[in-house]
Structure 1
């Protein structure tokens, strides 16, 4: 029997060989890409995966892609070949319009992109609008886990650690997204990371980097920050009348029966996207243009008319712009100012004074309306994109020998 020191020597030798002497392979979480093939880990005990190419898809027993699994990960259903039907999803999600249904399906198809970026799906609605149930259904089709959704993370570090162990980040029943956390969600959606000191060391750093689809739900409008709204798909769910509610057991049984066909339809769309991606040319390139191109390439498999997704996406972004402006005292006061005066120019101090005198009900907000000129300038820059799309031109300029900073506002 080996002594403890000899056992430690052997362990260190094997560890060194594993780290530096063997082949290196990328490791994926639920969805991976090798060459021109995407792999979806089904999460079952046999380690089956779905291989998706531009020619189609099939379930494989020994995928070449390596996957990491967390303790919370649950298996996906085995997709049903040749009988996929995305319309089966309609009975399990509570949406109020065809545009909203297209946006939910587009987000699901976007989750299969191997690298992102991924828009943040935000489900709003009153109590009794099935926000949590809809979120549970959507995540269960891509990356089921237990729990299916969590409470809001306390910090960016918690968010990035969650991204290390999940492909889809789902957070339930949020009341408020703090500015720092909103910025973190934006980085996760388009690609970002986090660095912190490694435990039990003085100078070593550990880095986390991830790009993940995010799914948030709550009663209030969560996309109040324009930069987050710019990366989001916002769907407001209607209230379900008492006569329209379903028993949970019957609902879950029906979902389990339909899930293989819904997943098959999504995989058909992904295969079509891989086949058409090189030929898609968007007339306009919105924010999250790679996502828009990916879903547009998948449109033929979803049975949508040509250009239907882009039309629904543009309408959703316009609605998100309106919500982000209405929830922002700085943006709303500027919109009111140019609505009355058409154009205005002056220093930041003059603008602050004018807005405070004319719209005290907006500028008295100690959190939403900054009292310092430099912070007001930053807040204005943050709301520039949605205001520009609403016809308000904002220009920062300097004039005179002293280079005094002048702000110019004009309604087109």
Structure 2
């Protein structure tokens, strides 16, 4: 038994779990609660399942309960002949459903529920369904028709209480907000009037919310609440929101579904896009969060789709295939449900890649005053990166030199719109940032920015190669003026193309695609027809993906070993194994070590290489999809044989490997010829 927030809580161990509070439960009730917990639909937050054998989990749940359990504020002072709230409830024969000794459970008369959700404790009551709460005085008024004077007469020991500052602040906040929670159970205030802070949704446990509560309360009660009062009020509403807040999907800049898409212009107006038309409205039926740095978008002045090509008068993309992929990325970024590949803008210094990143950002998700402060080339750490991505509908990372494995895993989640699986809360300004839905632009000198083993991310990347405009430079100031002139008509073309895609481009249920990012591919095919593009999407994307796969393979030093191995031993039955292939032990000890010795002798590889057969096999599995795509090399696990793990490595089309070998020979001859000329 422990006491939290003045509420007695029983912790009862049952089959390795703890039930809070202690209660006899049937197997059916336990099964139902476990199912509700997995689905995220359980609302009874005074009961929580944990692994009781893990001490740190017990500590975590106690901290959790401090936040979500009701903090009962007594409204009477203890005195002679004044009963506790539980004793008064028993004495007056209330319809108690469960008597746990230290607390009672019953149906709530405030919202008329049928399942007991009102808990009565020593000092007062709290409803886990509607959030109604109060002390003994409030409880008596809730269940009787007695006036204040009648209650004072019945209990002479009760003295009239003045409202505390905490009571006043809670009431001030209640009158000005609506409680919302997203699908991760993050809690928000939706402000009725957000002119003082410029943001319509405030994460309840954040610094800006603390500021808003303090300044708003000071205007009403002419006194600044203390830090302890502010902390109490925030904890109170955070727990209430988790239990009773309206669950809703929260969007940044673009939201909606396949029927209706909304775009937040940033000026309290919204563009509504359907397959039948476009319109600007002062309100929307979905919920947007407005960031502090969010800028105002230009209202479109034209709906001609051909105006999209004015973009190429500003950004340095001349190749038709690259134009097709860029336009596809821009329209795909306007679809809330779509997985969006990372847009990698590659080019030497002076090619205009950073400027191009800023232009696309301004076109889709402008920031206050068109500043470029969101362009960062070296995120401080993963927490900072996640914070940046989670606060922007479109984020830009500028001049990236290398993406390591940890960052690669995070960015893969960005593409798929996934949730970072961690018990650690990533925060920026105290806001919980787990769900990531940002569209990401990365600029780099070349496409070889992926660390070994990042092939999954490379496959989810579209690379745009940008050449230096030798002898054709124009000032950035001129291009910015040009963009300002064209911005509204280009954006109008974007909206019109989104409308057309909703009408003619969405694939039918069950349609198959050769490409992993199916929506992105369907957008590209639609644009090919709608804009009569010079370069068809399928061909452009197929070549682009092959290039990214090649880049991923080049980042992995063991790639060359497997290519050489298949060239020499394709189809060989090692050790007369009757089709088992080769043991991973032999592959490493005999063939890989021999290859390492040979290549190191001529100074080809000084990178860190696998030092045992398990690590070599792990590397092989990482690059196998790209080996299969580019060279037709396949890997099959045949199982355990003679006490060892065996695999098959073979090529389905040796011509792909032979062509590669011929190209390598040609390169060597060319280098030799150049060397002779220089000699």
Same fold flag (TM > 0.5): yes
Where in structure 1 are there 5+ consecutive unaligned residues? none
| Pairing partner for 1:143 from 365, 372, 377 | 365
State how many pairs are aligned. 403
Shift of 1:4: 1.9
Residues 218-238 of structure 1, C-alpha deviations (whole Å, 9 max, x = no match): 114224531111111011211
State whether structure 2 residue 314 is matched by structure 1 residue 89. no
Residues 38-61 of structure 1, C-alpha deviations (whole Å, 9 max, x = no match): 0111123xx111111111222222
Q: Whose Rg is larger? A: 2
* Counterpart-to-counterpart distance in 1, 2:469 and 2:627: 34
User: Is contact 1:173–1:217 with CA below 8 Å preserved after alignment?
Assistant: yes
Where in structure 2 are there 5+ consecutive unaligned residues? 1-161, 180-240, 573-580, 654-679
State whether structure 2 residue 561 is matched by structure 1 residue 301. no
* Counterpart-to-counterpart distance in 2, 1:281 and 1:88: 36
Note the 1:229-308 alignment, pairs <5 A.
229-241=458-470, 243-276=471-504, 277-279=506-508, 284-304=513-533, 308=536
* Counterpart-to-counterpart distance in 1, 2:381 and 2:473: 36
* Counterpart-to-counterpart distance in 1, 2:603 and 2:254: 46
State whether structure 2 residue 269 is matched by structure 1 residue 40. no
SS in 1 for 2:263: strand
The more displaced of 27-36 and 11-20 is 11-20
Matching residue of 1:7:
168
User: Is contact 2:412–2:457 with CA below 8 Å preserved after alignment?
Assistant: yes
Matching residue of 1:185:
411
Q: CA RMSD in A?
A: 2.9
Query: Cα gap change, 1:226/1:34 in structure 2, threshold over 3 Å: closer, same or farther?
Result: closer
Residues 168-208 of structure 1, C-alpha deviations (whole Å, 9 max, x = no match): 121001111111101111111112223344699xxxx9661
User: Is contact 1:103–1:313 with CA below 8 Å preserved after alignment?
Assistant: yes
* Counterpart-to-counterpart distance in 2, 1:137 and 1:17: 36
SS in 2 for 1:52: strand
SS in 1 for 2:530: helix
Query: Cα gap change, 1:184/1:17 in structure 2, threshold over 3 Å: closer, same or farther?
Result: closer
Query: Cα gap change, 1:283/1:13 in structure 2, threshold over 3 Å: closer, same or farther?
Result: closer
Matching residue of 2:147:
none
User: Is contact 2:325–2:524 with CA below 8 Å preserved after alignment?
Assistant: no
Residues 32-90 of structure 1, C-alpha deviations (whole Å, 9 max, x = no match): 0057110111123xx11111111122222223332112122222211123334111111
User: Is contact 1:182–1:228 with CA below 8 Å preserved after alignment?
Assistant: yes
* Counterpart-to-counterpart distance in 2, 1:253 and 1:309: 31
* Counterpart-to-counterpart distance in 2, 1:189 and 1:151: 19
| Pairing partner for 1:122 from 344, 355, 363 | 344
Shift of 1:388: 0.2
TM-score (norm 2): 0.55
Query: Cα gap change, 1:273/1:34 in structure 2, threshold over 3 Å: closer, same or farther?
Result: closer
Matching residue of 2:606:
365
Query: Cα gap change, 1:209/1:356 in structure 2, threshold over 3 Å: closer, same or farther?
Result: same
User: Is contact 1:136–1:148 with CA below 8 Å preserved after alignment?
Assistant: no
* Counterpart-to-counterpart distance in 2, 1:284 and 1:31: 26
State whether structure 2 residue 627 is matched by structure 1 residue 398. no
State whether structure 2 residue 280 is matched by structure 1 residue 59. yes
Shift of 1:339: 3.6
* Counterpart-to-counterpart distance in 1, 2:603 and 2:392: 40
Matching residue of 1:222:
449
SS in 2 for 1:40: strand
User: Is contact 1:160–1:193 with CA below 8 Å preserved after alignment?
Assistant: no
| Pairing partner for 2:402 from 176, 191, 195 | 176
Query: Cα gap change, 1:280/1:173 in structure 2, threshold over 3 Å: closer, same or farther?
Result: same
Shift of 1:158: 2.5
TM-score (norm 1): 0.88
State whether structure 2 residue 322 is matched by structure 1 residue 100. yes
* Counterpart-to-counterpart distance in 2, 1:320 and 1:13: 53
Query: Cα gap change, 1:363/1:206 in structure 2, threshold over 3 Å: closer, same or farther?
Result: farther
* Counterpart-to-counterpart distance in 2, 1:226 and 1:124: 18
| Pairing partner for 2:297 from 76, 80, 86 | 76
Matching residue of 1:327:
555
* Counterpart-to-counterpart distance in 1, 2:318 and 2:177: 58
